Amino acid sequence: MRGDATRRRIFVFTGPDGSGRKTIADMAGSTLELKKVLSYTTRERRPAEQEGQDYYFVEKETFLAAERNGEFVESVSIDNHQYGIKQADIERLWAEHGFVYVILNPQGARLLKQRYGDAVVRVFLYTDRDNAERRQRARGDGEALIAHRMSHYDEAMSYLTECEYAFENVDIAHTVFAISNTLERYLNRQLLNLD
């Protein structure tokens, strides 16, 4: 059975802003056929984003009611917006698919690890400050927002040593290949355990 405790893993992609977490997580997730656990957020949807594919976009009142109801396994406030992952979503996808992934900031990654222990495998992605800034600028982010995010760069980087794996994301294809190889071994190990 795919969802039993020995086959459940949640791969958490984390790291500083601009390191390429979303890009790499979605490519590695697709390569390894992992299911994505979507976050709920109160921030506005960006033009390129789709409801139910990038996030579940909800009103603040809806988010807070779910939070009071204990539905989130972790929730954080970033730049006055709420973000969170629901326990029911993780457990449903575990039951259906076994191997899932999420994209979280280091604070959320830490909370998820506390909650699910060995089922959580954290993949820390990083790049140097110049690259992180350049990438945000290249996608059109404003200077004030970039400066604000970069003020958290050192704090986010300090989480690297707590994570199970860390990869410098220089070349996208190379990074996805290295991560997929690493996590593939995880999936195979689980398959062998069942034999």
Ligand X SMILES: Nc1ncnc2c1ncn2[C@@H]1O[C@H](COP(=O)(O)OP(=O)(O)OP(=O)(O)O)[C@@H](O)[C@H]1O
Given the rule CB under 6 A, which residues bind ligand LQESDW3C? Answer: 17, 21, 39, 43, 74, 76, 78, 83-85, 103-105, 107-108
Under the binding rule (CB under 6 A), the answer on residue 41 touching ligand X is: no
Local structure of residue 164 (DSSP, 8 states): S
Cβ burial of 194 (10 Å; 0-12, 13-18, 19+) is: exposed
Compute the distance between CA of residue 36 and CA of residue 45 in angstroms, rounded to an integer: 18
Please state, in angstroms and rounded to a whole number, the distance separating the CA atoms of residues 28 and 9: 15
The number of angstroms, rounded, from the C-alpha of 34 to the middle of its chain's C-alpha atoms is 12
Is residue 17 part of the contact set for ligand X (CB under 6 A)?
yes
**Could you tell me which stretch among 19-27, 45-53, 94-102, 184-192 binds ligand X (CB under 6 A)?**
19-27
Q: Whose structure tokens read 């060995």?
A: 118
Instruction: Answer with the entry of ligand X, ligand LQESDW3C, none that 190 interacts with (C-beta below 5 to 8 A by kind).
Output: none
180 lines the binding site for ligand X (CB under 6 A): no
Q: Are 41 and 82 in contact (CB under 8 A)?
A: yes
Measured distance CA(9)–CA(6) in Å, rounded: 9
Residue span 112-141 as binding mask against ligand X, x where in contact by CB under 6 A, dash where not: -----------------------x---x--
18 binds, among ligand LQESDW3C, ligand X, none (CB under 5 to 8 A by kind): ligand X
CB of 83 to ligand X, least distance (A): 11
Is there a contact between 40 and 86 (Cβ–Cβ < 8 Å)? yes
Name which of residues 140 to 179 contact ligand X (CB under 6 A).
Answer: 169-172
Q: Which stretches of the chain bind ligand X, using CB under 6 A?
A: 17-23, 135, 139, 169-172
